[in-house]
Amino acid sequence: MRIPILRNASAKTPSADRSDRNPDLRVGIPRILNQWSTPRFWTAFFEELGVKRRNVVYSSATSDAQQKQYSQGRGAVDCCYPVKCISGHYGELLTGLKKPVDVLFSPKVVSLRSFLGSHVVDCLGCPRVMAGPESARGGFVREGDSFAASGVRYVSPVVNMSEPMLLARQLTKALEPVFPGLSHDETLRAIEMGWREQDDFDAESREVAHEVLERCERESRPAILALGRPYHMDPGIGHEIENELQACGYPVIWGQHLPLDTQLLDRLFGKDIRDGSLASHFDISDVWKSSYSANTNELIWAARFGARHPAIAAAVRFSSYECGMDQPTYTPVQKILEARGTLFFSFQDLDATKPSGSVRIRTETISYYLERHSKRIMDRKRALLSGDAEKVRVLSESDE
């Protein structure tokens, strides 16, 4: 689903005089936190501003080696693992690249763009997603400015990704010193290009997920829903647990990639809309009142989708060590899923250490349950969707 954001940005605007700009400028972006849901945006955005695509450089995915090598003594606080890792990414971009970058761009993401945007109270980032860069920077300037020492310009604007007009103002102000003569219109156009590319990528991922779910349902094959923050897709943060599950033969679909196809959503939520219990396919107010946080809202919505979709027989919840945002959601997410009989498992407190032992045991458990019960779970969910109360009763009794 493409989200319309700008009406006139692509209208012809006088092209900026770029002669003062460095044609070989290299921009380094730490691959952290919500970069996992917006990398295409930033690549296309900088490309539109004249940076060569190959010169938009991301730090590598989080790894133990990266953290050990680059964040030594930099981490200033004890907090959730994904934020703790920022220092390692900064360090890698500052000192670990063969070809150094000129700019380290690390936006402080105050709000995010979300397909739930108009259905929820707000689309804020987690306070640590917002301020993580500020905290990490502290460790790099405490004993002398490491950015200046590496000849790197540190640019870290506050960005409201959900508001294009404001975003353009914020980015123009922050990037004008890097791109002399940068105008508001030029930034707006770059933002539109960015979202276009991101939307295409998202649409593709959702399309693939749609096909997988359809196939699973057709073939009565269980799929697993992975519920987490976007950065749980980072192999160093989520520890590739989803791959272990895939290896057992179960397709795993991230909540972030669930299809938004109207026909499908109508099948899942139409009845509730017609009887007035939901205002729209994207309404979550009946299960989650404080819908301020974009990632949390989407996670709750994905849980509700997973609870209803017949092909999703199990859901696996990812949560990082000392995550504050997830804490109040543990029970609601589990209850949403279990209310319709979807199996629920969770990996909590994920940190630097891959929980290999528990992943193995849990994977075996999940396989065991899916082998034994997935058919009945899927039949029952289908019966629940079609309102066949008698079938639901029979299937539930055989369950007990």
Partner 1 sequence: MSIVSQKDYQAYKPRGFTTSDKEKVTLLFGGLTWRAERLLEGVFHGSGYHARALPQATKADLLRGRELADVGQCCPTAFTAGNLVNFLLDESKARGSQDVMDSYAYLTAGSCGSCRFGQYHQSYELALSNLGLDAFRLFFMDQTNPDGAQEGGGLDLSPALLSKAVLGIMAADVIQDVEYQLRPYELEAGATDRASQLAVEELYQACQDAKVPANTLGVAAWTLHSKGIMRALCRARRHFDAVAVDRLQVKPKVKITGEFYLQTVEGDPNYNIHSWLEKEGAEVYPAPVVIWLDYLLRFNSQYWEDRPYLPRARFNLAALRLASKALLWKYDQMRRAMNGLPHRVPRQHDLRDLAAPYFDGRLSGGEGDMLIGKAIWAHTRNKAHMIAELSPYGCMPNTMSIGAMAAVQGAHPDMLWAALEVKGDSEIHALSRCQMLLTEAKSRAAEEFDRALHASGLTLSEAKARAAETRQPVVRSLPSRGASGTAANLVLDLGGAEL
Q: Distance from first CA to last CA of the chain, Å, rounded?
A: 41
By C-beta, is 37 or 43 nearer to ligand SF4? 37
Name which of ligand SF4, partner 1, none residue 320 binds, using a CB cut-off of 5 to 8 Å depending on partner kind. ligand SF4
Least separation, in Å, of the C-beta of 224 and partner 1? 15
Given a contact cutoff of 8 angstroms between Cβ atoms, the answer to whether 318 and 330 are in contact is: no
Shorter beta-carbon distance to ligand SF4: residue 33 or 174:
33
Q: Which is nearer to ligand SF4, 250 or 318 (by Cβ)?
A: 318
Q: Which does 338 bind (CB under 5 to 8 A by kind): ligand SF4, partner 1, none?
A: partner 1
Cα–Cα separations (whole angstroms), residue 118 to 3, 71, 114, 255, 282: 11, 39, 9, 19, 9
Between 59 and 98, how does the x/- string for binding to partner 1 read (CB under 8 A)?
-----------------xxxxx--x---------------
Task: Tell me if 328 contacts partner 1 by CB under 8 A.
Answer: yes
Least distance to ligand SF4, CB of residue 126, Å:
3
Classify residue 85 by its DSSP letter. T
Task: Find where tokens 């890698």 sit.
Answer: 92
Nearer to partner 1, 121 or 148 (CB): 121
8 Å CB contact between 240 and 38:
no
The length of the chain is 400
Query: In 10 A of CB 351, how many CB atoms?
Result: 16
Rounded-to-integer distance, Cα 369 and Cα 367, Å: 6
Contact 81, 32 (CB under 8 A): no
Nearer to ligand SF4, 229 or 340 (CB): 229
Give the 3-state secondary structure of residue 153. strand
Look at residue 344 and give the partner it binds from partner 1, ligand SF4, none, a contact being a CB closer than 5 to 8 Å depending on partner kind: partner 1
Q: Which residues of 28-39 are buried (b: 16+ CB within 10 A; e: fewer)?
A: bbbbbbbbbbbb
Q: Which is nearer to ligand SF4, 216 or 323 (CB)?
A: 323
The yes or no reply on residue 110 touching partner 1 (CB under 8 A) is: yes
Contacts of 259 (CB under 8 A, 6+ apart): 206, 207, 209, 210, 213
Residues from 253 through 312 that contact partner 1 (CB under 8 A): 285-290, 292-293, 307
Helices (H) and strands (E) in the chain, counts: 15, 10
Least distance between partner 1 and beta carbon 75 (Å): 8
Interatomic CA distance for residues 18 and 234, integer angstroms: 36
Q: Is 96 or 355 the residue whose CB approaches ligand SF4 more closely? A: 355
Beta bridge partners of 317: 227, 346
| Out of 126, 152, 278, 307, the residue judged to bind ligand SF4 by CB under 6 A | 126
Which of ligand SF4, partner 1, none binds 210 (CB below 5-8 Å, type-dependent)?
none
Q: Is 232 in the site for partner 1 (CB under 8 A)?
A: no
Is 299 in contact with 329 (CB distance < 8 Å)?
yes
Candidate segments 101-109, 110-118, 121-129, 207-215, binder of ligand SF4 by CB under 6 A: 121-129
Q: Given the rule CB under 8 A, which of 12-20, 29-37, 98-106, 335-343 is the region that contacts partner 1? A: 335-343
Residues paired with residue 316 on neighbouring β-strands, in sequence order: 226, 345
Q: Which does 148 bind (CB under 5 to 8 A by kind): partner 1, ligand SF4, none?
A: none
Nearer to ligand SF4, 33 or 287 (CB): 33
11 is in the binding site of which of partner 1, ligand SF4, none (Cβ under 5 to 8 A by kind)?
none
Q: How far apart are CA 298 and CA 132, in angstroms?
A: 21
Question: Tokens 């692509």 label which residue?
Answer: 10
Q: Which of residues 59-118 bind ligand SF4 (CB under 6 A)?
A: 80, 82-83
Considering CB distances under 5 to 8 angstroms, the limit depending on partner class, which of ligand SF4, partner 1, none binds residue 236? none
Compute how many other C-beta atoms are within 10 angstroms of the C-beta atom of residue 216: 23
In this structure, are residues 16 and 182 in contact, taking their beta carbons and an 8 Å threshold?
A: yes
Residues from 325 through 364 that contact ligand SF4 (CB under 6 A)? 325-326
- Stretch near partner 1 under the rule CB under 8 A, chosen from 17-25, 56-64, 326-334, 356-364: 326-334
Chain positions contacting ligand SF4, by CB under 6 A: 80, 82-83, 126, 128-129, 229, 320, 323-326
